[in-house]
């Protein structure tokens, strides 16, 4: 993202010396000894990240002959060079003529017209993907090229043949089918009537503008904002146009300056998620339920509830809104995970206007159960977003592009329903059944939004226990056995992000405060408080706590896209250890009892 921010500024002609130099310092500081750049702390080199970082540093003035640059180029060539990079990386290069647009997969803007019942309509993609793909169809249709200030032959294995021919997969395979579909789309491009193409691009522009948030951003995350700005600018919107000016201003708010001369870019900001998790942690650690800090947090969360329809209503048009988003402004895309955790936080607060809280909770529960997918579980942003086709497109090699139900989100919803006393509602029971069926053979659960099996297990066990499964239930026993088997020798728990690609890494990695806390929360929920594993885990947290009360955690324990995009949530190192230690000290695995929503709330789908 730091590299792409510099590429964006170069493309728009808005670069300035201070920003460029500060971003370049940050990028250089993240380079590995072998010359590559990773996508997470301590991780292996990533080819696409390395290519983009290298080109960004060239734009910042670094010479290709400099030692760190020559090492990076050599590493990139050893991994296959630009031709082996992801599609998005090659799109960025194509913007400057460093890659041929004809050698990129095609996705026409006319996809905006596909009805929701057709495969590959925009709503068959996850919300983060559709927000990115719609503007990129415009960019790909217009194929702009800004004059490149230098060449990048050093990043090709063979500069004379930068894109060597690849053998196509057999037509009897899905990959082969979609490769040939891409060929058809390339032919379609040459014969598309201009009025049809222009109309489709204008429809995409309207779609993009309608989804711009109050703060100028799109979806509260950086990537859709970047591509939306480029697409609208290519369609004739001047940089001083209110839409683009607000968009560029929103991107500046993703910038963090750790030092006066160092600049880094955040993927997103998570105030709702941080606030509800902090409130849960403080309450479970013993802060009185009527403490002013908790009441103030509850007031802020109540103000953030979203009461208008968003893109989720395409699949659930009759469902009344009532969720919470992750960010400050993201009314189009509330998510089920945040909503469940906000409700769990609100039920821990003794608010002076309890009727207001109950109304918000009832509305949230109705919306959440209405977003249940047909298989009984919950995804993050949409219901039944499970089409297998988007992931097959050659265009979509940038991570997870659909939003199927996951164990961690489903567990949080089940825990929410149990906390409200409606764990026997049919919605909860089908969620519980799905969770039990999704348990891995080794006793763990896959973690979609946190790393990885420790997060999934740390979410599922407390939910199942809260819903009434006894400690001797086979699923609970197997989860406990797995957690105890992967505890590190130092007493903590850790898991490397490489577990998403290689299950040999499952439950393996440097001990971290957040992952140790997740394991402890599961073991405490399973009734294992007075066991050696829990005592060693608690001791590890106590001994690694810093003098200011926090923990150091450079390792990334949050997940954006498994295998492709990882997140370091800076508050995780505080809120989860505090929650786990509070539950241990108070011998309360789920926190203090709260107010109960009406039973009808769980049946309002």
- How many C-beta neighbours within 10 Å does residue 108 have? 20
Please state, in angstroms and rounded to a whole number, the distance separating the CA atoms of residues 203 and 197.
10
Instruction: Pick the closest to residue 486 from 440, 448, 434 (CA basis).
Output: 440
Residue 561 DSSP code: E
The first and second tokens of residue 391, run together, are 């992931």
Please state, in angstroms and rounded to a whole number, the distance separating the CA atoms of residues 230 and 240.
14
Residue 324 DSSP code: B
Residue 101 DSSP code: G
Please state, in angstroms and rounded to a whole number, the distance separating the CA atoms of residues 462 and 524.
8
Please state, in angstroms and rounded to a whole number, the distance separating the CA atoms of residues 121 and 279.
39
Task: Determine which one of 2, 284, 337, 496 is catalytic.
Answer: 337
Whether the Cβ atoms of residue 340 and residue 282 lie closer than 8 Å to each other: no
Whether the Cβ atoms of residue 214 and residue 253 lie closer than 8 Å to each other: no
Rounded to 10 degrees, the C-alpha dihedral 469/473/477/483 comes to -20
Please state, in angstroms and rounded to a whole number, the distance separating the CA atoms of residues 39 and 354.
45
Query: What is the SS3 assignment for 440?
Result: coil
Residue 76 CA from chain centroid, whole number: 26
Q: Does 490 qualify as catalytic in the annotation?
A: no
The first and second tokens of residue 461, run together, are 């066990």
**How many alpha carbons fall within 13 Å on the CB side of residue 26?**
23
The first and second tokens of residue 554, run together, are 């450079």
The first and second tokens of residue 321, run together, are 């809104």
**CA-to-CA dists, residue 566 to 228, 238, 339, 520, angstroms:** 22, 34, 22, 23
Residue 188 CA from chain centroid, whole number: 34
- How many C-beta neighbours within 10 Å does residue 26 have? 18
| Contacting residues for 284 by C-beta, under 8 A, at least 6 apart | 348, 578, 579, 582, 583, 586, 588, 591, 592
Instruction: Pick the closest to residue 391 from 563, 560, 178 (CA basis).
Output: 178
Whether the Cβ atoms of residue 583 and residue 284 lie closer than 8 Å to each other: yes
The sign of the CA dihedral 110, 112, 115, 116 is positive
Instruction: Pick the closest to residue 435 from 390, 482, 372 (CA basis).
Output: 372
Query: What is the SS3 assignment for 128?
Result: helix
Whether the Cβ atoms of residue 247 and residue 216 lie closer than 8 Å to each other: yes
The sign of the CA dihedral 172, 175, 178, 179 is negative
Active site residues per annotation: 337
């Amino acid at each position: 993202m730091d590299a792409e921010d510099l590429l964006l500024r170069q493309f728009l002609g808005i670069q300035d010396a201070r920003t460029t130099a500060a971003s370049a310092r940050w990028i250089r500081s993240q380079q590995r000894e072998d010359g590559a750049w990773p996508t997470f702390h301590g991780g292996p080199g990533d080819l696409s990240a390395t290519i983009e970082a290298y080109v960004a540093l060239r734009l910042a003035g670094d010479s290709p002959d400099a030692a760190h640059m020559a090492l990076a180029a050599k590493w990139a060539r050893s991994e296959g060079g630009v031709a082996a990079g992801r599609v998005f990386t090659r799109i960025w290069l194509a913007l400057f003529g460093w890659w041929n647009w004809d050698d990129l997969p095609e996705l026409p803007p006319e996809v905006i017209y596909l009805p929701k019942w057709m495969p590959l309509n925009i709503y068959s993609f996850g919300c983060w993907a559709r927000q990115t793909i719609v503007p990129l169809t415009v960019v790909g249709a217009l194929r702009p090229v800004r004059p490149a200030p230098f060449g990048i032959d050093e990043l090709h294995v063979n500069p004379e043949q930068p894109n060597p021919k690849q053998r196509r997969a057999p037509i009897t395979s899905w990959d082969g089918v979609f490769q040939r579909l891409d060929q058809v789309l390339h032919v379609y491009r040459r014969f598309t009537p201009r009025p049809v193409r222009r109309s489709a691009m204008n429809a995409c522009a309207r779609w993009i503008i309608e989804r711009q948030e109050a703060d100028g951003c799109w979806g509260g995350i950086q990537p859709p904002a970047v591509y939306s700005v480029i697409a609208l600018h290519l369609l004739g919107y001047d940089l001083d146009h209110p839409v683009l000016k607000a968009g560029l201003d929103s991107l500046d708010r993703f910038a963090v300056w750790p030092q006066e001369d160092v600049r880094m870019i955040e993927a997103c900001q998570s105030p709702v998620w941080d606030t509800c998790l902090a409130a849960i942690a403080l309450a479970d650690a013993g802060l009185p339920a009527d403490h002013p800090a908790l009441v103030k947090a509850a007031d802020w969360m109540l103000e953030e509830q979203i009461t208008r329809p968003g893109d989720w209503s395409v699949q659930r048009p009759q469902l009344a809104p009532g969720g919470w988003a992750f960010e400050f402004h993201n009314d189009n895309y509330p998510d089920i995970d945040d909503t469940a955790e906000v409700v769990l936080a609100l039920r821990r607060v003794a608010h002076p206007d309890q009727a207001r809280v109950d109304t918000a909770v009832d509305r949230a529960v109705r919306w959440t159960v209405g977003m249940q997918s047909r298989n009984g579980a919950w995804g993050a942003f949409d219901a039944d977003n499970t089409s297998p086709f988007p992931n097959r497109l050659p265009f979509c090699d940038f991570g997870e592009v659909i939003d199927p139900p996951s164990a961690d989100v489903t567990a949080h919803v089940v825990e929410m329903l149990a906390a409200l006393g409606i764990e026997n509602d049919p919605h909860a029971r089908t969620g519980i059944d799905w969770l039990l069926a999704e348990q891995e053979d080794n006793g763990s659960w896959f973690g979609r939004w946190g790393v990885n099996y420790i997060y999934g297990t740390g979410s599922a066990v407390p939910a199942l226990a809260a819903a009434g499964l006894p400690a001797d239930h086979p699923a609970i026993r197997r989860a406990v056995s797995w957690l105890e088997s992967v505890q590190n020798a130092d007493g903590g728990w850790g898991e490397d992000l490489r577990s998403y690609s290689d299950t040999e890494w499952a439950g393996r990695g440097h001990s971290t405060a957040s992952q140790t806390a997740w394991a402890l929360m599961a073991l405490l929920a399973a009734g294992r408080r007075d066991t050696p594993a829990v005592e060693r885990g608690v001791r590890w947290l106590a001994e690694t706590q810093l003098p200011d009360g926090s923990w150091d955690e450079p390792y990334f324990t949050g997940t954006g896209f498994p295998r492709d995009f990882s997140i370091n949530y800076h508050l995780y190192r505080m809120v989860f250890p505090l929650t786990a230690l509070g539950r241990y000290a108070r011998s309360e695995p789920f926190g203090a009892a709260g107010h109960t929503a009406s039973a009808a709330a769980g049946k309002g789908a």
